[in-house]
Amino acid sequence: QNSPLFDTGADGTRLLHNMKELDIDPKNIGIIVLSHAHWDHTGGLSEILKQNETAELYIPSSLHISTPGRKVTIVKEAIQICQDVFSTGELGGTEQSLALKIDKGIFVVTGCSHPGVGNILKAASKFGKLYGIAGGFHGFRDFKALDELSLIYPCHCTQYKKEIRELFKDKALECGVGLVIQL
């Protein structure tokens, strides 16, 4: 029941459909982490909350939502969310990312990376040696920041996906809806 969900997408109906396709029961989500206040990351929240009466929320302090009767943790500083799952804390006053502790190191999951990929990686490195990253890299062009990573999944709002895949041929992979990453 501690399974975390990171962001809810733009539409709750699509979120629930995709969860069903992946054989994920919304009731088994114990924690919902929202990266930042943009609609395409929070739009599915009300639908999943209807399906799940107990999930706790972890939201950055810049996100203002009302969820009466539900446990909500306002995130400002880096914290542990559950076993092997950490928040970078709210970076740049807008957004948090996840740092997942796996056997190979730390795998980072981002929303849009508005605070900057380099800043997110620096914050996540507090939890261990960085292994990989997946998510949106909005406005990101400092490709050297990815040099030391073993696995890179640029998706969502990443403008330079093609360039990243060309520069990091062996470790930058396609990313999209329904992708399951075996870590």
| Residue 1 pLDDT | 58
CB of 113 within 8 A of CB of 91?
no
pTM of the model: 0.94
Q: Are strands 98-102 and 105-109 parallel, antiparallel or unpaired?
A: antiparallel
CB of 50 within 8 A of CB of 60?
no
| Residue 56 pLDDT | 97
Which class for 10: exposed (0-12), middle (13-18), buried (19 or more C-beta within 10 A)?
Answer: middle
Instruction: Give residue 151's identity as a one-letter amino acid code.
Output: L
Instruction: Give residue 119's identity as a one-letter amino acid code.
Output: N
Q: Are strands 72-75 and 79-82 parallel, antiparallel or unpaired?
A: unpaired
For the chain, 183 residues long, give each residue's pLDDT as a single digit of tens.
578 999 999 999 999 999 999 999 999 999 999 999 989 899 999 999 999 999 999 999 999 998 988 999 999 999 999 999 999 999 999 999 999 999 999 999 999 999 999 999 999 999 999 999 999 998 888 999 999 999 999 998 888 999 999 999 999 998 888 888 888
Structural domains present in the chain: 3-167 (3.60.15.10)
CB of 140 within 8 A of CB of 160?
yes
